Amino acid sequence: MSTASPISWLVTGARGQLGHDLLGVLSGRPDDQVTAVGRAEVDLTDESSVRATVRDWLDRSAGSRAVLLNAAAYTAVDPAETDEATAQVVNGAAPGWLAEEMAGRGRLVHVSTDYVFDGSATEPYRVDSPTAPRSAYGRTKLAGEQAIAAVGDDATVVRTAWVYGRHGGNFVRTMTNLEAQRETLSVVDDQVGSPTWSADLAAGLVELGERVDAVPPVLHCTNSGQVSWFGLARAVFEELGADPERVQPTTTDAFPRPAPRPAYSVLDGSAWGAAGLTPTRPWREALHVAMQQGFRD
């Protein structure tokens, strides 16, 4: 069930890849109020800054339904290995502060990640699959999920994976640029996931936020289907009208990184549809639509 009554939205991480698309979706809701904050407006390592920002917004939202979309995170996976303390505050503690401030006053929709799993599965991870993060990033994101769960109020954690969009750095933009710069590329073929267009994810998060009835505490939202990074790179080349044979497969071992990457990142999205939310489209269809908008710098 949805509501047509006005909503007051707070979007954190509004300058980021997903934040840009969330604001794009919300721009189509002229009757709603939207407050967008990024690093310049709120310091997620400062508890007083986080709480004051939410309280001020809630006070200004009196009389409207309040929905907070938390797209802010410490997403530098490799640097987190040596800066886990900072990542822990941003990814682990701050979501708990948000949940506490929102308790009894509105809905929190918090974005999490496939990195909370160990990546060793052979079938899609369900929302209730055991978590076992192998990286600092994954550990801190799981801590954020747990902090929200401890509050136990109107909040939903939405895990996603392999997100790309027109804003910010991401795999699809990188492949698009490299196609014009290199004759051949080597891309890992032993990591599998579900590429997710940030515009589709944003639409799903807004749909979830506007619901007036109860929603599950944890959901998964990605574009459907699965592919390796190698397969995704070839699909990008195809969309560009380039020869996909210019992309050659390689292994994760050939590109060692400080943080371990999940070999399998596919998330089971059945709970999303079971909650009455719009099913996501296949990743290949989403990529085609996204690439029509242009991804080159």
**Residue 1 belongs to a domain:** no
**Residue 233 belongs to a domain:** no
pLDDT more than 90, % of the chain: 93
- Residue 74: phi and psi, rounded to 5, are -90, 105
Q: What is the pLDDT of residue 152?
A: 81
Q: Which amino acid is at 296?
A: R
Q: With 90 as the cut, is the pLDDT of residue 142 above it?
A: yes
Q: With 80 as the cut, is the pLDDT of residue 27 above it?
A: yes
Instruction: Quickly list DSSP for 116-143.
Output: GS-S--SSPBPTTSPP---SHHHHHHHH
Q: What is the mean pLDDT of residues 98-118?
A: 97
- Banded pLDDT at 1 (limits 50, 70, 90): very low
Tokens of 245: 């044979």
**Residue 71 belongs to a domain:** yes
Q: What is the DSSP letter of 151?
A: H
- Per the CB < 8 A criterion, the answer to whether 60 and 73 are in contact is no
Residue pLDDT, tens place only, 2-16: 455 899 999 999 999
The rounded distance, in Å, linking the Cα atoms of 126 and 112 is: 14
- Which range marks the domain in which residue 112 is found? 7-169+195-224+267-278
The rounded distance, in Å, linking the Cα atoms of 152 and 104 is: 10
74, 115, 125, 137: the catalytic one is: 137
- Per the CB < 8 A criterion, the answer to whether 166 and 226 are in contact is no
The secondary structure element, H or E, covering residue 112 is strand 107-113
In sequence order, the β-bridge partners of residue 275 are none
What average pLDDT does the chain have?
A: 95
Name the residue with tokens 């707070």: 10
Give the CATH number for residue 138.
3.40.50.720
- Per the CB < 8 A criterion, the answer to whether 37 and 22 are in contact is no
Residue pLDDT, tens place only, 54-75: 999 999 998 899 999 999 999 9
**Residue 295 belongs to a domain:** no
**Residue 21 belongs to a domain:** yes
The rounded distance, in Å, linking the Cα atoms of 34 and 108 is: 15
The rounded distance, in Å, linking the Cα atoms of 184 and 18 is: 30
**Residue 175 belongs to a domain:** no
CA 187 to chain centre: 23
Q: What is the pLDDT of residue 9?
A: 98
pLDDT more than 70, % of the chain: 98
Q: What is the pLDDT of residue 2?
A: 46
Q: What is the mean pLDDT of residues 124-134?
A: 98
User: 146 CB contacts (<8 Å, ≥6 apart)?
Assistant: none
- Per the CB < 8 A criterion, the answer to whether 14 and 36 are in contact is yes
Q: What is the pTM of this model?
A: 0.95
- Banded pLDDT at 271 (limits 50, 70, 90): very high
The rounded distance, in Å, linking the Cα atoms of 127 and 220 is: 7
Q: What is the DSSP letter of 92?
A: I
C-alpha separations of 249 from 180, 205, 228, 269 in Å: 19, 34, 10, 28
Confirm whether 125 is a catalytic residue. Answer: no
Q: What is the pLDDT of residue 4?
A: 59
Which of 196, 256, 185 lies closest to 221, judged by CA?
A: 196
- Banded pLDDT at 293 (limits 50, 70, 90): confident
- Count of domains observed in the chain: 1
Q: What is the mean pLDDT of residues 162-180?
A: 94
C-alpha separations of 183 from 83, 147, 186 in Å: 36, 47, 11
Tokens of 119: 């990546």
Exposed e or buried b per residue across 266-295, where buried means at least 16 C-beta atoms within 10 angstroms of its C-beta: bbbbebbeeeebeebeebbebbeebbeeeb
**Residue 70 belongs to a domain:** yes
Q: What is the pLDDT of residue 296?
A: 66
**Residue 209 belongs to a domain:** yes
- Of residues 293 and 139, more confidence is placed in 139
